Structure 1
């Protein structure tokens, strides 16, 4: 395989901050994801992103740093990865429901 296949990664960050600050901190992570230019979908529990595995894992690392920078004492992250050698897209998974 000569190219890096697109994969899907879903990220849920749970920053340990006061309740009144949770949305603000999570919004900072979503803004960082938006700036990557990758396809993404924000859901009520997690954000799903499509890209190459290495760049997606870098996003996970950056998300931790963003949460700490914005006041989290600790960050719990839940990550799901859908990987297959030929690639997988968000569109192929959800287009029939839209």
Structure 2
């Protein structure tokens, strides 16, 4: 594991219900990858290898379109550190729980 991403997908849809259904599909996909992840109120954080996480970002866009979104806006933050120990999601947040 050398990368952490935070991804927020915003499918453009006709209704809030449709948006939530599509976002749930994206989260289900992320869960299916086997990567460690944490869902937050505005974004989902995922840990893994750089290339694998970039593929997840790409697939998240495609899922939105396949699920019926007219278009999708995404906000992605990437922390890549191939040389040092990467703090895990749990290490970064455990003192706040």
**TM-score w.r.t. structure 2 length?**
0.90
**Partner residue in 1 for 2:7:** 11
Deviation track 1:31-53 (CA, whole Å, cap 9, x = no partner) reads 00000111100001000001011
Match of 1:56 in 2: 53
Aligned-residue CA RMSD (Å): 1.1
- Residues 67-88 of structure 1, C-alpha deviation per residue, up to 9 Å, x if partnerless? 0001111110000012223123
- TM-score (structure 1 length as normaliser): 0.90
- The runs of 5 or more residues in structure 1 that have no matched partner are none
Matches within 5 A, 1:63-82: 63-82=60-79
Deviation at 1:10, TM superposition (A): 0.3
Q: How many residues align?
A: 94
**After the TM superposition, which parts of structure 1 deviate over 4 Å for at least 4 consecutive aligned residues?**
none
| Counterpart residue number, 2:91 | 92
Q: CA deviation at 1:16?
A: 0.5
Q: 2:23 aligns with which of 22, 26, 30?
A: 26
